[in-house]
Amino acid sequence: MSKLIHTKESLILSTIEVISEKGLQGLTTREVAKRQGISESTIFKHYKSKNELILAVLEYFSQYDQAIIESLKLRDYTPIEAITYFVEAYVTYYENYPEITAITLSCEGLMCEPELNAVVYNIFIKRFNSVKSLITEAKHKKVLAKEVDPGSMADLIIGLERASVLRWRMDNYNFSLKEHTLSALKMLLDAFALG
């Protein structure tokens, strides 16, 4: 059983590596098999199709989400600290595992696949709703201006993170994603802060 789990996880990690290097258009089970040093048919012993393998990648990609949300509940953060922690947790993860950012940037393409659409949507909406609820709490506690629309602000924060990730990848990881993103987030939050 342990070998089976190891093989499945290795396939997931190789798939992420291929997507990071070649994009979704370059992802083939043949390329994943080649990197694993196995036959392509071995992949299909573990996953019935390429989309099933991608579903496993999406599950792997989103496994961190619940841990971040639970961690927020256990800490006594102010609303702004909570928003910052949420973003910082992701960008720290991304800095430590740059290949995974390819999945973040591939979500739109993955939504075109009917088998993957709902999973991608649920991952995105869970993250969006988490940020939105933190912003709503910040407004409720009168930390952010009353004009702030929580949904629009969540879009700005998620967009900031994604744009930072894209630029970081395009610049070949030549700056600190964490420092850049948190600095920009602080500017954004300060612009709408009360007091």
The domains of the chain are located at 58-191
Spatial separation of the C-alpha atoms in residues 52 and 26, rounded to whole Å:
17
Q: Are 117 and 58 in contact (CB under 8 A)?
A: no
Dump pLDDT digits (tens) for 114-167.
Answer: 999 999 999 999 999 999 999 999 999 999 999 999 999 999 999 999 999 999
**Mean pLDDT in residue range 74-91:** 96
Return the pLDDT at 7: 86
Predicted structure pTM score: 0.91
| CA pair distance 93, 103, nearest whole angstrom | 13
Class of domain 58-191: mainly alpha
Contact 91, 177 (CB under 8 A): yes
C-beta of residue 177 within 8 angstroms of C-beta of residue 160: no
